[in-house]
Chains A and B, each alone.
Chain A
Amino acid sequence: EPEVTQTPSHQVTQMGQEVILRCVPISNHLYFYWYRQILGQKVEFLVSFYNNEISEKSEIFDDQFSVERPDGSNFTLKIRSTKLEDSAMYFCASSRTITSNQPQHFGDGTRLSIL
């Protein structure tokens, strides 16, 4: 069964550095998402992306975050100047449509640790 894949599985970065988290959504999916889960807390929506543009974003997704689909297969989340509080598990998800008949499929996540 096709899967959403995320790389790396664990990223360690110095505070203030830029980090790029990568995701390869399922190939025939059209909608892409990033979620964040701070350790011990609930999963929080960051952003959704469709047709090469952001369709929705949460208040967490401020100017230090950006997303891109650079080459038609990858979907990236960039954090420009990381802070300690950015340490979390970041999940990418994709769906073919936005109906429940095609629910969002999640990747295994990237654990981001900011030192």
Chain B
Amino acid sequence: AQTVTQSQPEMSVQEAETVTLSCTYDTSESNYYLFWYKQPPSRQMILVIRQEAYKQQNATENRFSVNFQKAAKSFSLKISDSQLGDTAMYFCAFMKGNQFYFGTGTSLTVIP
């Protein structure tokens, strides 16, 4: 079975600063996909960034980047130049086949 662990239930960051959200996962698979989803108070699920396990290069999407450590089964999200609109719940997700496994989420608050 696949499990995803987010050990930081809540975090805060000053506007314009950088914050890193951690995620670890457990799997025996070698080929899989990892995602970060953002869930603002409106409760939508918005894709932030994705990473294929077979790619060594860390994915980057504007102010969002990941630190993917396959051997350590770690997939952290770095948000640079934090903005007030980044305030949301962030879910790490593991995908194998057509099923997602989500972590419990990290609630991020950006402080003005």
Of B17-25, B64-72, B79-87, B95-103, the segment with at least 4 beta carbons within 8 Å of chain A is B95-103
A-side contacts of B52, CB under 8 Å: 100
For residue A18, CB closer than 8 A to chain B, the reply is: no
A42 & B102 in contact (Cβ 8 Å cutoff): yes
Interface size, chain A (Cβ < 8 Å): 26
* A48 interface contact, C-beta 8 A: yes
- A45 with B105: CB separation less than 8 A: no
Residues of B close to A89: CB separation below 8 A: 43
Q: A: which residues have CB within 8 A of B?
A: 31, 33, 35, 41-45, 48, 50, 55-56, 89, 91, 93, 95, 98-100, 103-106, 108-109, 111
Residues of A within 8 A of B100 (CB): 33, 35, 43, 45, 104
How many A-B pairs fall under 8 Å by CB? 59
Assess A41 versus B104: contact at CB under 8 Å? Given A100-B52, A109-B43, A109-B44: yes
A55→B45 contact, CB < 8 A: no
Q: Are B99 and A45 in contact (CB under 8 A)?
A: yes
Q: Is the interface of B mostly helix, strand, loop or mixed?
A: strand
In the complex, whether B35 has a CB less than 8 A from a CB of chain A is yes
Report if B42 contacts A (CB, 8 A): yes
Interface size of B in residues (CB-CB distance below 8 Å): 23
Give the A-binding residues of B (Cβ under 8 A): 33, 35, 37, 42-47, 50, 52, 91, 93, 95, 97-105
Contact indicator A103/B50 (Cβ below 8 Å) = yes
Chain B nearest CB: distance from A4 CB in Å?
10
Residues of B within 8 A of A91 (CB): 45
Cβ distance B36 to chain A, nearest Cβ, rounded Å: 11
The 9 A-B pairs with the shortest beta carbon distances in the complex, nearest first, are A100-B33, A106-B45, A98-B98, A43-B102, A42-B104, A48-B98, A42-B102, A108-B44, A109-B43
- Partner of B42 from A43, A95, A108 at Cβ < 8 Å: A108
Could you give 18 example pairs across A and B, Cβ below 8 Å? Answer: A31-B98, A41-B104, A43-B45, A43-B91, A45-B100, A45-B102, A56-B98, A56-B99, A89-B43, A91-B45, A98-B98, A100-B33, A100-B35, A103-B35, A106-B44, A106-B46, A109-B44, A111-B43
